[in-house]
Amino acid sequence: MNELECKLEVHKCALCHDAPCKKIYKNINPERIIRALRLENKKGARSLLQNKNQWYEKKNCDEKCPLNINIDGIIENLVHTEEIVEGFETMDIRSEICGVKLENPFLLSSSIVGSTYEMCKSALEAGWGGVCTKTICMMPIEESSPRFSALKDWDETFLGFKNIEQLSEYSVEKNMEMIRRLKKEFPNKVIIASIMGRDEQEWEYLAKEVTQAGADLIELNFSCPNMKQKGTGSDVGQNKELVEEYTRVVRKSTHLPILAKMTPNITDMRVPALAAKKGGANGISAINTIKSITGIEINSFIPEPQVNKKSSIGGYSGRAVKPIGLRYIAEMSTSEELSDMAFSGMGGIYTWRDALEYILLGCSSIQITTAIMEYGNRIIEDLILGLKIYMKENNYHTVKELVGKAKSNLVNNSELDKNTIEFPRFNYQKCIGCGRCYISCKDGGHQAIKFDETRKPLLDAKKCVGCQLCKLICPQNAIEKAMKRIEKEFKNNMTQSKKILR
Ligand SMILES: Cc1cc2nc3c(=O)[nH]c(=O)nc-3n(C[C@H](O)[C@H](O)[C@H](O)COP(=O)(O)O)c2cc1C
């Protein structure tokens, strides 16, 4: 199988629970390997297969893959295209959040995934560094059915996910019991209690309760977009006076570090973040979900999810929101006034690489919901494995060394180099002559690609502005960066069209 066929096969896999395929082979669990490949952890997948010939050892059994995935082909491709990385197992991926030690940077974010003792326990046992509880409140919570909708990719994976859910449906007492039990049974894991009050008295009461129950940190939910009651949730996060006031009340009621969780339904998150800092918060969590409509059923005219023939705007999360989360984190972490705050990053994190991107922009901890809802707690295996392998290969010894490493490379658009150009380079070995680059350049670019009966693209360097739309569009990844950038002045002085082939 070539690389593309292998990718398609991997994406066909249903990632079954207790997968039948693991009973087919003597030494390997194909589901585990394919899951690592799905979660951008190819090196991790390779590490699960130390011995080249292991997978051929099949058991004498009747089990088979319900989708007839070509497991041998996937593993053979993996063995031939990826080298084994040695010695990553002992890498130190400890981190911290407002001075509280984390065995790894990965936590469940406040949501359904951390709403009961059993769910948190199973996540902690699976290897998560901690959990942030579903937001604890004193108001009656009534939810609708159904309460989720999704924008899906061709292979049915979620591109984006919408929920119209509110806060914890369980009583304060039941939530306190959960925190007490978790802290007792998992003293080295971090428990963040997420809370939301309707007024100063409720914020104070909840802060005192969770402190007494033994939480390690408190997260203030200033950001739920689905609240029934006006003046709560993202209404607070959009109002810097209320953010400061409620943070101050909590500050007076606890000695614990405070994270203020921000809403992305605002133009400039630095404003409420600064208000939270003034009120006494030690860190910022971001982002909560983005107000959205995922789609409308076009025969009934009812938006999704349909709750007895009606719907409402809800919070968007998952893969689609990562760029927005990264943007808000970057704006805050590069702000001088917020430079002493801790950042806990979330929004669209599925893989170790997504998590690392948040870390590189200044987050020392990572929180996740949608990926867990889609794939389960088991994604922690690839978050840890992938991060360890990256650190080993790149010679980093602590997570701290990575925190904020990308910040200095982010500048204002006005500071970007506008004097040089990076031309695309066609790799004719990979090019299949589909002409997609030609179409996009003609209709959405600068008409700089010629495409004749030879079915090979040729670049007119005189016209090309180096936007690289062609590189993004190419279905074969056959367009690469030029070796070096050239001065625009040089290009402008060209007397006749030149064809740059490679
Ligand atoms: C079903 C669902 C329920 C959520 N409930 C809460 C909540 O109770 N409190 C809160 O602060 N955030 C809540 N969130 C927001 C998540 O904690 C997180 O900020 C957001 O989903 C972005 O991360 P993700 O893309 O990893 O899901 C919820 C998200 C989802 C999808």
pTM confidence score: 0.96
Please, are residues 47 and 11 in contact by the beta-carbon 8 Å criterion? no
Out of 128, 143, 317, 357, mutate this one to test ligand 1's pocket (max ligand atoms within 8 Å of CB): namely 317
What residues does ligand 1 touch, defined as CB less than 6 Å away? 109-112, 134-135, 161, 163, 165, 167, 194, 221, 224, 261, 288-289, 317-318, 321, 346-349, 368-371
C-alpha 44 – ligand 1 centre gap (Å): 28
Task: Indicate which residue's Cα is closest to atom 28 of ligand 1.
Answer: 111
Task: In the chain, list all ranges with CATH 3.30.70.20.
Answer: 417-500
pLDDT of residue 7: 93
Task: In the chain, list all ranges with CATH 3.20.20.70.
Answer: 101-144+167-289+318-409
**Residue 98: left if φ>0, alpha if ψ -120 to 50, beta else—which one?**
left
Out of 369, 377, 383, mutate this one to test ligand 1's pocket (max ligand atoms within 8 Å of CB): namely 369
Going residue by residue through the chain, which has 502 residues, state the pLDDT in tens, using 9 for 90 and above. 888 899 999 999 999 999 999 889 888 899 999 999 999 999 999 999 877 666 677 877 888 899 999 999 999 999 999 999 999 999 999 999 999 999 999 999 999 999 999 999 999 999 999 999 999 999 999 999 999 999 999 989 999 999 999 999 999 999 999 999 999 999 999 999 999 999 999 999 999 999 999 999 999 999 999 998 888 999 999 999 999 999 999 999 999 999 999 999 999 999 999 999 999 999 999 999 999 999 999 999 999 999 999 999 999 999 999 999 999 999 999 999 999 999 999 999 999 999 999 999 999 999 999 999 999 999 999 999 999 999 999 999 999 999 999 999 999 999 999 999 999 999 999 999 999 999 999 999 999 999 989 999 999 999 999 999 999 999 999 999 877 888 888 877 776 555 554 4
Task: Tell me the C-alpha distance between 129 and 108, whole Å.
Answer: 9
The CATH code of the domain at 101-144+167-289+318-409 is 3.20.20.70
Task: Indicate which residue's Cα is closest to atom 13 of ligand 1.
Answer: 111
Out of 39, 210, 234, 288, mutate this one to test ligand 1's pocket (max ligand atoms within 8 Å of CB): namely 288
Task: Indicate which residue's Cα is closest to atom 3 of ligand 1.
Answer: 111
> How many percent of the chain have pLDDT more than 90?
88
Amino acid sitting at position 39 = L
Task: Indicate which residue's Cα is closest to atom 15 of ligand 1.
Answer: 288
Task: Indicate which residue's Cα is closest to atom 5 of ligand 1.
Answer: 111
Of 1.20.58.60, 3.30.70.20, 3.40.50.150, 1.10.10.10, the CATH number of 417-500 is 3.30.70.20
DSSP 230-291: TTSTHHHHT-HHHHHHHHHHHHHH-SS-EEEEPPSSSS-THHHHHHHHHHT--EEEE--PEE
C-alpha 68 – ligand 1 centre gap (Å): 35
Q: Which residues are catalytic?
A: 224
Q: What is the pLDDT of residues 193-243, one digit of tens each?
A: 999 999 999 999 999 999 999 999 999 999 999 998 888 999 999 999 999
C-alpha 287 – ligand 1 centre gap (Å): 9
β-bridge pairing 486-487 and 420-421: antiparallel
DSSP 316-335: EESGGGHHHHHHHHHHHHT-
pLDDT of residue 62: 81
Q: How far is the CA of 481 from the CAs of 203, 406, 422, 469, in angstroms?
A: 54, 21, 7, 12
